[in-house]
Structure 1
Amino acid sequence: MDLETMLSFKWGIMMPEFIILGVATALSILDLFLPKTTNRKILGWFGFVGILGALASLFSLLGHETTSILYDTFRLDSFGKAFKLLLLIGAAMVMLIALSYEPEEGMKEYKGEFYYLFLTALLGAMMMSSSGDLITLFVGLELLSISSYILAGIRKHHLQSNESAMKYVINGGISTAITLFGMSYVYGLTGTTNLKGMSSVLTSIFDTQQVYLLGLAFFMILIGLSFKVASAPFHMWAPDVYQGAPTPVTAFLSVVSKTAGFVLIVRLLLSIFASVPTGESGTVPLLVSLQDYMAFLAGATMIIGNVVALRQRNIKRLFAYSSIAQAGYILVAVSTFAFIFDAMWFYLGAYLFMNLGAFAIIQIITMKSKTEDIGEFAGLYRRSPVLAVAMAIFILSLAGIPGTAGFIGKLNIFMGAFVVQDAHYVLASIMIATTVVSYFYYFGIMTQMFFRPSASDEKINVPGALVAVIGIGVFATVLFGILPNIGFDFLHTNFGGFKDFIN
């Protein structure tokens, strides 16, 4: 590729990615040369400003027309912009949580690495959102995954952190291999790695043996990506990793990494398998004929996540199973294809605010008490009424109680199960039943906070960064619960119903 061709590309559409890349590179160099006695928090604030800069540049691109560069490997379309918005907002809030994280052991010497590895993971997620090619998708996925493996085990002298990193690496490596094997089948049948090119080739495939191979590819890709979003029965790594990883990393994995996983699922499945004709008349897309398998995955994920959460005493493990259950709810939208973009975007946005707000409070309590037992939340209302009320709002939203953003998100997905031609009554029933089950463990935390005596009456001091995270979380959770049209109007005004997803 000559210099003239390189300069002809509209590089401005990659500005958010360039800002994150530039800041991550600058942080790594600064960390190398700064004296060891210098507090590394300054790098975290630098990274936070970089994320805000990327967010500002993304807002400037909202009205930009759909553009692809580098031979269709990078696409700036409404889908990419909408989900990058969630990724950047989530990353900014996680960075604030990380700035207030002061564990007893094994982090001080690695604090600088923590910040720029976090930014490289974010960069991988953003690349996945705008990828138009299997190669760039895979590079983005690996950038996110490898950075996440290191972040999970960054407390080098902490046994649980080491265990969580090892389990994460093994499971992540297996899932990546399965995903890549599935991708290789699609490449072998189409002769191209470009998603648009694949889609156009696959519309003319009618040979039953080739369709059979594409079905195998679908299952391998779905299984591999199910590991990434921690959906049952491929969820076994999540509770151990969530428990052993530093709290900001757990928050990152539960929200930003999960959002990136769903972005990848939708990008791949709708771009590739929605265009493969099956059935006697050749009018039924392969994705539709296989949707029952995705529905089964969604049902199993909701049941296992919510039922196993009932037995948890460790707050981070409980939120791991809660996160698995939330993945099941989002998979309902994916498997029914009803309002898939709207429902996914709104639910992931609501989940972002309520979950990160909850993790900010979890970090405050666990760092003060030096333990992660749910019993440490006992009497929180007497010690800090504001924290207790904020946590109650997040829990009510996670449980899907009316008046919160979580309720609107679940309602959207629930209604979507009925508006399709063949209504998913079983899936909707499982969604209701498991939501009721979730009340037991969510309200168990509230019982501790409001109705149990506290072992200590010592007041809790909340760092300014965490005040911001909790405040933003409460405000957004209540606002989008009472006035959800603000979110949907913003979505439709700026992203136009995602009509440019494949075109």
Structure 2
Amino acid sequence: MEQGIQLSDLAHLAPELTLVISAVIISLIDLMMPKKTSRTIIGWLTLAGLVVAAVFVALRLQEAPVELLNQTYRVDNFGNLIKLLLLGSTGLIVLMSVGWVKSKDIPHVGEYYYFYLPAVLGGMIMASSGDLITLFVGLELLSITSYIMVAMKKKDGKSNEGAFKYTVLGGISSAMILYGMSFLYGMSGSTNLGEINAQLSLYSGSFGALIYVAFFLLLAGFGFKIAAAPFHTWAPDVYQGAPTPVTAFLAVVSKAAGLALVFRVIYTVFFQLSASSSLPIEADVYLSLSVLAAISMIAGNFMALRQKNMKRLLAYSGIANAGYLLVPIATQFSLVHMNNFSEFIYYLVAYALMNIGAFALLLMIEATSGTTELKGLAGLYYRAPWTAVAMVLIVLSLAGIPISAGFFGKLFILLGALETQLYWLAAIMILTSVVSYYYYFGIIRQMFMRGGGEPEEVKATVPLRITLWTCAGVGVVLGFYPGLLLNYVESIFKLATDLFIY
């Protein structure tokens, strides 16, 4: 059995190695550059590293799964698709930051840019982990880097407060995850996800109660990482305090990596554990996920109704969307429904586009009026009509209006819930989506029906405008042609080899 990594295996790790090498080289360049020199070049180099890594990932699509480091790391289509999403989203966030980040707001501009590289690397490790140790290393790499990035506005009290809350609560959630993992290791004698499932399947009758303890500890820890209610309380304050592009990173990349982790762990570790036990372990696992999804949808949408700050509104919107994205995981693969992963990926891509686009617009408003309050959007149509049109397209997708990527994403998930007879969960999806119309259309009302906006033209760099229109345009294309992405994912994803580790 292979115990270490061979030279030939490095080709399979090209995306991860690209990010590591890029981070080292760019940090050295930043150190050697004079202090007063613009760090814009650091942003472009960071973006180049992300693009090269994404190309290496794309070249590995549709290949047979590869297991490295004694099955602790897997290169499969599940991980590759998630990695492309993480890299693409991070690339858009870095792009919209180029030319915007100023030393008066963020003292260490160079660090701001290249810290995205180890952060997204942690998410990629999470997506490909086949072992608890590798999984936790990736999780902590993403988490610790995120703690630092949230605190980069050193002179901002809200940023410091948000970073403190994020670090403390993040440490508690990591401890809960580690505690849950210790139970799994104690019961199975292994840290390999597939081996854990095999051992628990044999002895689930003896370890039934401890399996529940391990699952709920992991669920609580993962719930924090994806900002799912009731583990969401940190999100509004952290989102409001962090630099706007970092908030976009937390809302999209960090959440997507956490959801991918939940998907992998749930279907590898807890699948079919009731065979040798009188306890309905498997049914309870998926019921718990369904309840978590329902609570997130209800809490996120109803608490967003009261928000006047765009960052806090998008934070609660993200909490609600964490619930929608948990539904494909909770519905479970079955003979009548096998499209869980393609539904999950489609809506995750739509969610990434509409949130990054929304934060790109918020960055423009923040640069123009110095505020992230909803009132900063007042009269936007009269100041920047095309920018307002792009935001309308994004809001329609967020709300799930027909012929938008967000609409088809929710529709596919809803149909999956109905096929698996989770009628109560489907009903909550519909009702909470209707509730969300109020605060999403409040954004449009501000742009078109409110006066009092700043008289000057909306400030925006060219990269920022490109990011906004890329998110809006691709969202429209996915809305008109949802089969482009959905059919492609279904054609390359193989449940037996790309998700299950046995």
Contact 1:269 1:287 in 2 (8 A): no
1:469 maps to: 467
SS of the equivalent of 1:75 reads strand
2:303 maps to: 308
The one of 152, 170, 173 equivalent to 1:172 is 170
Mapped partners of 1:36, 1:281: distance in 2? 66
1:229 maps to: 226
Compute the displacement of 1:340 (Å). Answer: 2.4
Compute the displacement of 1:332 (Å). Answer: 1.7
Q: Relative to structure 2, which stretch is displaced further, 331-340 or 444-453?
A: 331-340
Contact 1:9 1:70 in 2 (8 A): no
Task: Trace 1:85-164 onto structure 2 (pairs within 5 A).
Answer: 85-102=84-101, 105-107=104-106, 109-164=107-162
Compute the displacement of 1:206 (Å). Answer: 3.7
Contact 1:202 1:275 in 2 (8 A): no
TM-score (norm 2): 0.95
Contact 1:133 1:193 in 2 (8 A): yes
Compute the displacement of 1:249 (Å). Answer: 0.3
Mapped partners of 1:9, 1:409: distance in 2? 39
2:205 maps to: 207
Mapped partners of 1:206, 1:121: distance in 2? 36
Mapped partners of 1:21, 1:227: distance in 2? 27
Compute the displacement of 1:200 (Å). Answer: 2.1
Confirm whether residue 434 of structure 1 aligns to residue 432 of structure 2: yes
Confirm whether residue 269 of structure 1 aligns to residue 266 of structure 2: yes
Q: Over aligned residue pairs, what C-alpha RMSD do you find? A: 1.8
1:11 maps to: 10
Contact 1:231 1:297 in 2 (8 A): yes
In structure 2, the CA distance between the partners of 1:25 and 1:491, relative to structure 1 (3 Å rule), is same
Mapped partners of 1:5, 1:459: distance in 2? 58
Contact 2:103 2:109 in 1 (8 A): no
In structure 2, the CA distance between the partners of 1:159 and 1:95, relative to structure 1 (3 Å rule), is same
Compute the displacement of 1:242 (Å). Answer: 0.3
Contact 1:78 1:498 in 2 (8 A): no
Confirm whether residue 501 of structure 1 aligns to residue 496 of structure 2: no
Contact 1:341 1:498 in 2 (8 A): no
Task: Trace 1:280-359 onto structure 2 (pairs within 5 A).
Answer: 286-337=281-332, 339-359=339-359
Letter of the 1:437 counterpart: V
Superposed CA offset, 1:238-268 (max 9, x none)? 0000000000000000000000010111111
SS of the equivalent of 1:274 reads coil
Letter of the 1:466 counterpart: L
Compute the displacement of 1:199 (Å). Answer: 2.1
Superposed CA offset, 1:305-339 (max 9, x none)? 01111111111111000111110111122211253
Compute the displacement of 1:428 (Å). Answer: 1.1
Mapped partners of 1:354, 1:293: distance in 2? 28
Letter of the 1:269 counterpart: I
Compute the displacement of 1:104 (Å). Answer: 7.8
The one of 246, 250, 257 equivalent to 2:247 is 250
Letter of the 2:258 counterpart: G
Mapped partners of 1:100, 1:92: distance in 2? 15
Contact 1:100 1:463 in 2 (8 A): yes
Mapped partners of 1:81, 1:61: distance in 2? 7
Mapped partners of 1:302, 1:176: distance in 2? 24
Contact 2:394 2:472 in 1 (8 A): yes
Contact 1:314 1:374 in 2 (8 A): yes
1:413 maps to: 413
Compute the displacement of 1:498 (Å). Answer: 6.5
Contact 1:404 1:480 in 2 (8 A): yes
Mapped partners of 1:406, 1:498: distance in 2? 29
Compute the displacement of 1:16 (Å). Answer: 0.5
Mapped partners of 1:319, 1:432: distance in 2? 19
Letter of the 1:99 counterpart: V
Compute the displacement of 1:455 (Å). Answer: 3.0
In structure 2, the CA distance between the partners of 1:206 and 1:168, relative to structure 1 (3 Å rule), is closer
Letter of the 1:202 counterpart: L
Mapped partners of 2:426, 2:156: distance in 1? 42
1:404 maps to: 404
Mapped partners of 2:302, 2:64: distance in 1? 46
1:45 maps to: 44
Compute the displacement of 1:472 (Å). Answer: 1.3
Mapped partners of 1:6, 1:262: distance in 2? 28
Mapped partners of 1:235, 1:498: distance in 2? 33
Compute the displacement of 1:98 (Å). Answer: 1.9
Task: Trace 1:55-74 onto structure 2 (pairs within 5 A).
Answer: 55-74=54-73
SS of the equivalent of 2:223 reads helix
